[in-house]
């Protein structure tokens, strides 16, 4: 926060800057006077803030990975090796059974604060093909690789061009979308009632194939 008092510019910084060294204080001064034109100062400030936030970030929660049908640890490891080989991926586990997105259902979520992914337990049933679960894991890992960016109008863009391109390039993207469109109502009903989807496994195996 900046303001002037008796002709003197006053600046209030977050407490994380209390222990900043002289070089960081100079970077702040350059940013104040030149803004985005002070490229190196901006880069130094971004790096400093990231380190400070990482030091105060809450630890990743302990998540349950083994379900009745699928073990998310195995699926996540396969997804990581195939699509994120050189990048560390977030923690993962089965999440809560309540949600209000996707017409009452959100299949997965990524928490940037704890760097963890939760997958909706409605996917942990025989009627849901394994490749569908793997794609949802892949989608949430993309949120880790491509975090949301602030648009010029202030909106947060969660699925930017890079994210969309990577998602569309997935070899089973069309199959997963077809599955979701065909069976979303059944998934929502299953999530709300806790009952498995009936007679869906045979339909899925005939139309999409098992994986």
pLDDT in tens, 114-171: 889 999 999 999 999 999 999 999 999 999 999 888 888 878 888 999 999 999 999 9
What residues make up the domain containing 100?
A: 72-207
Q: Are residues 29 and 77 in the same domain?
A: no
User: In terms of domains, do 78 and 112 share one?
Assistant: yes
Phi, psi dihedral angles at 98 (to 5 degrees) = -120, 145
Alpha-carbon dihedral 134, 189, 120, 58, rounded to 10 degrees? 160
| Residue at 64 is within a domain | no
In a domain, 142, yes or no: yes
Question: Would you say residue 13 has pLDDT above 50?
Answer: yes
CATH of the domain at 157: 3.30.2010.10
Buried-state track 52-69, b at ≥16 Cβ within 10 A, e below 16: beeeeeeebeebebebee
Specify whether 189 is located in the same domain as 132: yes
Question: Based on the domain organization, do 128 and 83 belong to the same domain?
Answer: yes
Domain membership flag for residue 66: no
Angle at 55 between CA 52 and CA 57, to 5 degrees: 105
Q: Is residue 61 in some structural domain?
A: no
pLDDT tens digit string along 42-60?
888 788 777 766 666 555 5
Residue 191 lies in a domain: yes
User: Do the domain assignments include residue 65?
Assistant: no
The answer to whether 114 and 60 have CB atoms below 8 angstroms apart is yes
Strands 91-94 and 116-119: parallel
Q: Is residue 180 part of a domain?
A: yes
| Number of domains, the chain | 2
Flag whether the pTM goes above 0.75. Answer: no
């Amino acid at each position: 926060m900046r303001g002037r008092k008796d002709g003197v510019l006053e600046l209030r910084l977050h407490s994380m800057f209390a222990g900043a060294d002289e070089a960081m204080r100079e970077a702040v001064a350059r940013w104040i006077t030149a803004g985005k034109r002070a490229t190196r100062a901006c880069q130094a400030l971004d790096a400093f803030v990231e380190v400070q936030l990482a030091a105060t970030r809450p630890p990743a929660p302990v998540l349950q990975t083994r379900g009745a049908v699928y073990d998310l640890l195995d699926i996540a490891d396969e997804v990581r090796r195939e699509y994120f080989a050189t990048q560390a991926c977030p923690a993962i586990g089965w999440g809560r059974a309540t949600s209000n997105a996707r017409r009452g259902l959100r299949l997965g979520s990524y928490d940037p604060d704890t760097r963890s992914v939760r997958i909706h337990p409605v996917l942990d049933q025989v009627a849901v093909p394994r490749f569908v679960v793997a794609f949802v894991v892949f989608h949430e890992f993309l949120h880790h690789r491509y975090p949301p960016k602030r648009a010029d109008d202030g909106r947060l863009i969660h699925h930017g061009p890079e994210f969309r391109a990577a998602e569309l390039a997935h070899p089973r993207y069309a199959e997963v979308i077809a599955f979701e469109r065909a069976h979303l109502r059944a998934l929502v009903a299953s999530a709300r009632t806790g009952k498995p989807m009936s007679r869906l496994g045979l339909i899925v195996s005939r139309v999409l194939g098992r994986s």
